[in-house]
Amino acid sequence: MKFNFLLAAATLLFLPLLGQASTDLKEVESSKVCMVNDTYFGRAQIPVIVSENTYYGCCENCKKTLKTSQTSRQAIDPVSKKAVDKSKAIIGALPDGKVFYFESRSNLKKYKNK
């Protein structure tokens, strides 16, 4: 039963990526990304300042989450597998709005060209 749960969770996590090549990834402005939902909206989001770093959320709940949850302000670079502060990351978005956070532009390019 545990295996079925893990398989279902993995399917839900990766299902949105099916049919979308990493070559479709484009660098986007952090101010247009909800960093809680990890979604590119293409319009300005609400800035949230935490310890002199600026994060962005799409609503009041996301503002609260960014202020109170350190994990919401971090991501894992899919190339280096290192933790990245979302306020300092290079952000790439797929056409459906799903974003990835990178510690450098070179990692974004590596990911895009894989």
In a 13 Å sphere around the CA of 80, the CA atoms on its Cβ side amount to 16
> In this predicted model, what pLDDT tens digit does every residue of 68-111 receive, in sequence order?
999 999 999 999 999 999 999 999 999 999 999 999 999 999 99
Residue 7 lies in a domain: no
Is residue 42 situated within a structural domain? Answer: yes
Residue 95: which domain range? 21-112
- Residue 76 resides in a domain: yes
**Residue 15 belongs to a domain:** no
Furthest CA-CA distance within the chain: 45
Distance of CA 61 to the CA centre of its chain: 17
- Half-sphere exposure at residue 81, Cβ-oriented, CA atoms within 13 angstroms: 0
Task: Output the pTM of the full model.
Answer: 0.80
56 occurs within a structural domain: yes
Q: What is the pLDDT of residues 24-74, one digit of tens each?
A: 999 999 999 999 999 999 999 999 999 999 999 999 999 999 999 999 999
The domain total for the chain is 1
Answer whether residue 8 is part of any domain: no
